[in-house]
Structure 1
């Protein structure tokens, strides 16, 4: 078993306010008030399970519980930290080559930081660090309470709601800027490269970037190619900042559109409107999924269209938390974010929304993008250049 040592924040970092460069230094966005609520929620899970500690090991759980800390290096890799929540406190374990940066930029107040050699085992070290007097208790594994943790993070708290709204609005603005500059001879790679540059400049990580020009409109998950956009194109972007993932799809075209396209765009927006109507506090996700299936038939897409692509679901600290199917029985709560993404042949609609007292609030909004009113809500239409 790897030995861990507590990391002490260097005095130079404690006095960093005197450094002119401090204005550019990142600090963990965590709210002490929000973190206390999250800790109470996890302790409630431990109480219900009759356990004394829980080991958090996934990006989704770690970034939620730490309230926005970055725990990745490679976007394709495992977290570079693990966290033990026990009744005495919170213990974050990371590799020795990450510990200094984590202490300076990612560690919320009240979390004890420990280091393990870069070749050590994070999970073993984190499981052991909270043990006292040689107790042999094994912490509860995250996977054993996946459903309970998902419920604990359903309702966004004030600080994270504000961060999410800001990220979502910035992504919508980026889409407007980049797609407004597109031309028929712009390639798919050029378009997603421009999106990626803007996302990174905004301090976010581009998790998904998709684009299909008119020659590839049949693909619903279109990784970019060197193909030109042609007369019509779709762009999809999912980006993460402070742990939260916002999602958006937009369309652009360079002609007036065909009657069939215009009709399908209106009908897919009607499918989405029916999904929105079903997304109310107390609704079960499997019941909403049934409404999705019925909406495709109701609006002329056929009974099999829901099978051609996932339909989205709750959002927040994962792209979908989870993707909704007939087997997901979670209950919708106030303050919960969603990204539904109904699609049909050559059409798709997708925004990040949050359920508020006044109804669903669209977060991925840029007032410069053209919209139409669908069932009382402003929804995006294709940008015509």
Structure 2
């Protein structure tokens, strides 16, 4: 085994524990949305909403593909339609109790409700109710939070394991391969794996190459399990760093701290975004930095649900997860956190990773090798 094969026991995927009370709350929320919209049903079709409503069920095959099921929510019950080559597995392994499953040919249509349930049903599309559905899933229920915390901790642990073994000669692809191995062993999907060595530090979304890491490197993991996605960035350095680097790292953590301060119940995402725009020049970055990379936003069943902009009027709620990711030239900070009743609580935590307190919250710093 080479140095990037797993040398410790693999993280074992935990069994999905669905809580009936969580499912009942989600169904009640969707029925309230239907009543408010004066509609009798809605057809759920996206990975994000299906995974949320079905409490983490895996309803995809290709990571880049559409779901292989759709779900009609009515006051009379939940009806899931899927292809004949998928139904047996879904019933046996994924679909919670209380959902009626309808099979169609593998070449059939998931959106033609009349073809599998009969005429006379005209459901709302998911896009018609996108905003209220998004707000319905913003606060995590107890079962969801328990699963999400574990995923976030696992993701942070994986980054610590891999970057603690890295050397300046390790290539970006070797880092990505080692991350992928551990993510899959943990029962998760590696949706995004980014790595940049010193020669590519200027890129904000660095897909891995055969370049060696050199004197410093960044790695990013976005891992999905039980329908939820953890987003984590970490840095490693093989020398003492320059004073300019250390200064920029501290300043970007202060930008993030200002974002955390603005992330409070009742505030709008648009308001937080305006605070982000002001935070960069306040901490010595150019006022255009927010334009050079997205800044993150609410997290959970989508990587960002949604990405924050000045146009997002959604308000913030307790027990809502976030991944903010301010960045500047050669620096970035990113963790998945929860807005709890005590304030911001980081979820993607591995206590082996070095941290420093920023405004009372432990924040990751560069791992010095």
Q: Any unmatched runs of 5+ in structure 2?
A: 1-11
- Post-superposition offset of 1:152: 0.4
CA RMSD, Structure 1 to Structure 2 (Å): 1.3
Give the equivalent residue in structure 2 for 1:111.
99
Task: State the partner residue of 1:298.
Answer: 282
Partner of 1:275 in structure 2? 259
Give the C-alpha shift of residue 27 in structure 1: 6.4
Structure 2 counterpart of 1:90? 78
Aligned residues of 1:247 and 1:339 also touching (Cα < 8 A): yes
Match of 2:154 in 1: 170
1:62 pairs with one of 50, 63, 74: 50
| Count of aligned pairs between the two proteins | 358
Please list the CA deviations of residues 81-107 of structure 1 after superposition, one character each: whole Å capped at 9, or x if unmatched.
000000100011111111111011001
- Distance of aligned partners of 1:156 and 1:291 in 2 relative to their CA distance in 1, 3 Å threshold: same
CA apart distance, 1:29: 3.5
In 2, the alpha carbon distance for the partners of 1:27 and 1:196 equals: 20
Say whether residues 1:345 and 2:333 are aligned partners: no
* Counterpart in the other structure of 2:247: 263
For residues 244 and 49 of structure 1, the distance between their equivalents in structure 2, rounded to whole angstroms, comes to 27
In structure 1, the gaps of 5 or more residues are 1-23
Q: Cα distance, 1:302 vs. partner?
A: 1.2
Q: List per-residue Cα deviations over 1:124-144 (Å, max 9, x = no partner).
A: 14x55455xx4x231000000
Are 1:375 and 2:363 an aligned pair?
A: no
Alignment of 1:11-50 (within 5 A): 29-50=17-38
Q: TM-score, with normalisation over the residues of structure 1? A: 0.91
Cα drift, residue 257 of structure 1:
0.3
Identify, as 1 or 2, the structure richer in helix: 1
- Quick check: which has more Rg, 1 or 2? 1
Match of 2:111 among 123, 126, 144: 123
Tell me how far apart the structure 2 counterparts of residues 91 and 258 of structure 1 sit (CA, whole Å).
59
Is residue 13–residue 185 contact of structure 2 (8 Å, CA) maintained in 1? no
**Distance in 2 between residues matched to 1:299 and 1:51, nearest whole Å:** 49
User: What is the CA distance between 1:292 and its match in structure 2?
Assistant: 0.2
Determine helix, strand or coil for the equivalent of 1:379.
strand
1:356 to 315, 340, 356: 340
Q: Residues of 1 paired with 2:280 and 2:176: CA distance? A: 30
Question: C-alpha separation between the residues in 2 aligned to 1:382 and 1:25?
Answer: 29
Return the offset for 1:26.
8.7
Q: 1:209 aligns with which of 184, 187, 193?
A: 193
Q: CA deviation at 1:28?
A: 5.2
CA distance in 1, matches of 2:128, 2:139: 21
1:245 paired to 2:233: no
Using the size of structure 2 for normalisation, the TM-score is 0.95
| 1:187-206 correspondence runs (5 A) | 187-206=171-190
- 1:42-75 per-residue CA deviation (whole Å, 9 max, x = no partner) reads 0001000111100000000000000110001000
Counterpart among 285, 303, 306 of residue 319 in structure 1? 303
Structure 1 outlier segments of 4+, above 6 Å: 24-27
Instruction: Report the equivalent of 1:254.
Output: 238
Q: Output one character per residue of 1:202-260: Cα deviation in whole Å (capped at 9) or x when no partner.
A: 00000000000000000000000000000000001100001000000000010000000
2:315 aligned with 1:331: yes
CA deviation after TM superposition for structure 1 residue 305, in Å: 0.2
Partner residue of 1:225?
209
C-alpha contact 1:91 1:129 (8 A) present in aligned 2: no
